[in-house]
């Protein structure tokens, strides 16, 4: 018999959101989209530069991927685009394998994301423990901040290494090239960004006209002021124009990658890492958005949209994309009602490129470094380190280990270790919940006077490969006459648990001990029947399988085997 695959239906949320759509809602969506575009403009360029790419790669990603994710996604208000979480892995792929293989890796991660959504695997991402997510999120934040020290200090480093110790060595070795003008611009920009976020909302509560300033992102204010000051004063700091030659004022063009099969065959783990990171970030972002608008997103549709966006975008000069929490929250707070706002945000960025691209060449890199430093600080959940003593040891070990592995070694290694550690911890905890309790005559009066030759045990929890020690302990200390097992509270039985029970059956036969089983329920009974274990229980007598422990004990202490009715197994 063929079992059909659980294929998800492809239905973008946009189709439902447009029902009853009117000009009033479009006005709100358009205003929200333009606001988000203002926020996304500096971040898109900064993320691309930090990833070792040209600034237009971030803008093209925000335009193409942002439009596709909103148009095809499973959330009403989520904004897609380049994200800080990708900086480390993108920089590493581009450094090791080249930009051509980065395009291939991004496109393949898009295929993987689409298949995850198509096969309804969107909910599985939620099974990744919080300790793993916090560990690598904080690790990525540290690496982002560390990668921006070069431009923040204006150091003359021709090419930054990709590893942690290499970065530290390069920064220390070139510290003598510090540019005080770049440092001054960076510090001033950071002060504007931080001060704007903290003081403008407070001022807006006192002064009516100042409340309107709160809708303007501090990053844009810092960008405008720093660019103007550097341009007017002619400060000797590096800009987008001096390093990259500016941003082309043209539509994204199709790019066929120049890659090598020799290096492409090593892309399996980077592809999986990109897909996993994209899935985690987008679905976490969508859940945050759900809480803000009292809605529920479609995780499978969201993954399919993310897959399409990541497959298409790299062939037009873009980089990996995912859902972005900061821009999504801005979108919601700006009054967005549908995916149209995300599509407007992408079109607004396209208009900026076509009209104002030449101006972007004057943006100082020190300012973008300051903005990314601020993003990295807000990205990390640093309070979790202070709260570690209140958690159990496995949680602390997993979080700290994933954090250190992310910073010192590799994000892929960190995620692999984190998931492995979480699985081991889960198995240990579930096995610790499984236990066995010997019944006494106080609970079962029929045992009175027979406890020397009859033992009755009640097992609890899951009888799986991590908890077979319960059965092994019974096998090592068999009673002289009869062993009664009450399995009513066993909720799960796997093949290893069934094999352990088979071993117990054989041990009982060898020592001449009668084994009576009671309370087989649902899944354990089904496994016992399919593995032949149930037949082994009844091989001596049909009375050796009973519906409850009381009848099992009655059969054990009865002078003949016909003292109780057997469990019907048909």
3-state DSSP assignment of residue 239: strand
Please tell me the distance from the alpha carbon of residue 219 to that of residue 426, in angstroms, as a whole number.
43
pLDDT band at 136 (very low <50, low <70, confident <90, very high): confident
Report yes or no: 407 and 142 within 8 Å, Cβ to Cβ.
Answer: yes
Give me the DSSP letters along 409-470.
I-HHHHHHHHHHHHHHHHHHHHHHH-EEEE--TTT-GGGTTTTTTEEEEEEEEEESTTSTHH
Give CA–CA dist 528/494, Å, rounded: 9
Neighbours of 324 (CB within 10 A): 30
What is the average per-residue pLDDT within 351-356?
A: 88
Q: Which of these ranges, 127-141, 296-310, 534-548, 551-565, has the smallest mean pLDDT?
A: 551-565
CA–CA distance, 319 with 17 (Å, rounded to integer): 28
- Of 33-47, 119-133, 175-189, 271-285, least confident by mean pLDDT is 119-133
What is the mean pLDDT of the segment spanning 195-210? 66
How many angstroms from the chain centroid is the CA of residue 514?
51
Sign of CA dihedral 332, 335, 339, 345: negative
Over residues 417-428, the pLDDT tens digits come to: 887 888 888 888
Please state whether beta strands 514-518 and 545-546 pair in parallel, antiparallel, or not at all (unpaired).
parallel
Model confidence band, residue 259 (pLDDT cutoffs 50, 70, 90): low
Residue in the block written with tokens 């399995």: 487
Give me 416's structure tokens: 């692999």
What is the side-by-side strand order in the sheet with 482-493?
A: 435-438, 454-463, 482-493, 514-518, 545-546
Write out pLDDT tens, residues 424-441.
Answer: 888 888 888 889 999 888
**How many Cβ atoms are within 10 Å of 180's Cβ, its own excluded?**
11
Q: What pLDDT, on a 0 to 100 scale, did the predictor assign at position 418?
A: 81
Beta bridge partners of 80: 323
Mean pLDDT value of segment 157-167: 82
Give the count of beta carbons closer than 10 Å to the beta carbon of residue 312: 17
Count of alpha carbons within 13 Å of 87, Cβ hemisphere only? 32
Distance CA 137, CA 379 (A): 7
Q: CA 470, 475, 477: angle at the middle one, nearest 5?
A: 100
What confidence tens digit (pLDDT) does each residue in 356-374 have?
888 888 889 999 899 888 8
pLDDT digits (tens, 9 = 90+) for 62-71: 999 999 999 9
HSE, side-chain direction, 13 A CA sphere, residue 552: 30
User: Which residues, other chains included, contact 558 with Cβ-Cβ below 8 Å and sequence gap of 6+?
Assistant: 564
Number of CB atoms found within 10 A of residue 447's CB: 19
Q: For residue 533, what is the enclosing H or E element?
A: helix 533-537
Mean pLDDT of the chain: 86
Write the secondary structure of 96-127 as one string of H (helix), E (strand) and C (coil): HHCHHHHHHHHHHHHHHHHHHHHCCCHHHHHH
Location of each CATH 3.30.750.24 domain in the chain: 435-557
Give the confidence band of 568 by pLDDT, cuts at 50, 70, 90. very low
pLDDT of 96 higher than 60: yes
For residues 40 and 349, give the distance between their C-alpha atoms in angstroms, rounded to a whole number.
8
Is CATH 3.30.750.24 the right assignment for the domain spanning 435-557? yes
């Amino acid at each position: 018999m063929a079992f059909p695959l659980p294929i998800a239906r492809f239905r973008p949320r946009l189709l439902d959101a447009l029902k009853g759509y009117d000009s009033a809602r479009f006005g709100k969506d358009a205003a929200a989209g333009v606001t988000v575009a203002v926020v996304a403009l500096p971040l898109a360029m900064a993320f691309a530069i930090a990833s070792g790419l040209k600034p237009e790669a971030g803008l093209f990603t925000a335009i193409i991927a942002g439009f596709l994710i909103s148009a095809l996604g499973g959330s009403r208000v989520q904004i897609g685009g380049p994200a800080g979480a990708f900086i480390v892995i993108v920089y590493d792929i581009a450094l090791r394998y080249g930009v051509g293989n980065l395009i291939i890796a991004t496109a393949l991660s898009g295929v993987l994301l689409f298949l995850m959504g198509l096969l309804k695997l969107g909910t599985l991402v939620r099974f990744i423990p919080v300790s793993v997510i916090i560990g690598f999120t904080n690790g990525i934040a540290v690496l982002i901040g560390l990668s921006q020290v070069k431009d923040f200090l204006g150091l003359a480093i021709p090419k930054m290494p990709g590893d942690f110790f290499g970065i530290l060595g390069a920064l220390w070795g070139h510290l003598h090239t510090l540019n005080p003008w770049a440092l001054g611009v960076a510090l001033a920009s950071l002060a504007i960004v931080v001060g704007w976020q903290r003081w403008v909302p407070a001022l807006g509560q006192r002064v009516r006209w100042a409340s309107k300033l709160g809708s303007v992102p501090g990053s844009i204010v810092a960008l405008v002021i720093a660019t103007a000051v550097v341009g007017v004063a002619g400060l000797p700091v590096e800009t987008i124009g001096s390093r990259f030659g500016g941003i082309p004022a043209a539509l994204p063009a199709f790019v066929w990658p120049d890659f090598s099969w020799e290096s492409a065959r090593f892309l399996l783990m980077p592809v999986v890492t990109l897909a996993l990171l994209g899935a985690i970030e987008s679905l976490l972002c969508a859940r945050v958005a759900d809480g803000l608008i009292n809605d529920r997103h479609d995780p499978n549709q969201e993954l399919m949209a993310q897959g399409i966006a990541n497959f298409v975008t790299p062939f037009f000069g873009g980089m990996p994309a995912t859902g972005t929490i900061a821009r999504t929250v801005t979108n919601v707070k700006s009054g967005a009602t549908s995916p149209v706002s995300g599509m407007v945000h992408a079109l607004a960025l396209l208009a900026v490129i076509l009209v104002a691209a030449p101006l972007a060449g004057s943006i100082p890199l020190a300012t973008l470094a300051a903005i990314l430093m601020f993003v990295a600080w807000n990205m990390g959940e640093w309070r979790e380190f202070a709260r570690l003593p209140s958690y159990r040891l496995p949680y602390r070990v997993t979080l700290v280990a994933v954090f250190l592995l992310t910073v010192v070694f590799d994000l892929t290694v960190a995620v692999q270790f984190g998931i492995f550690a979480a699985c081991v911890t889960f198995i240990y905890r579930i096995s610790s919940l499984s236990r066995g309790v010997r019944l006494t005559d106080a609970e079962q009066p029929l045992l009175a006077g027979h406890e020397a030759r009859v033992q009755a045990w009640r097992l609890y929890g899951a009888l799986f490969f991590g908890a077979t020690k319960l059965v092994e302990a019974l096998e090592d200390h068999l009673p002289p006459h009869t062993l009664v097992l009450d399995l009513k509270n066993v909720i799960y039985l796997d093949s290893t648990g069934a094999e352990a029970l088979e071993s117990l059956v054989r041990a009982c036969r060898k020592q001449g001990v009668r084994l009576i089983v009671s309370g087989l329920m649902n899944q354990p009974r089904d496994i016992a029947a399919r593995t032949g274990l149930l037949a082994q229980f009844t091989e001596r007598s049909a009375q050796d399988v009973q519906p409850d422990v009381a009848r099992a004990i009655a059969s054990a202490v009865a002078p003949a085997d016909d003292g109780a009715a057997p469990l019907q197994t048909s």
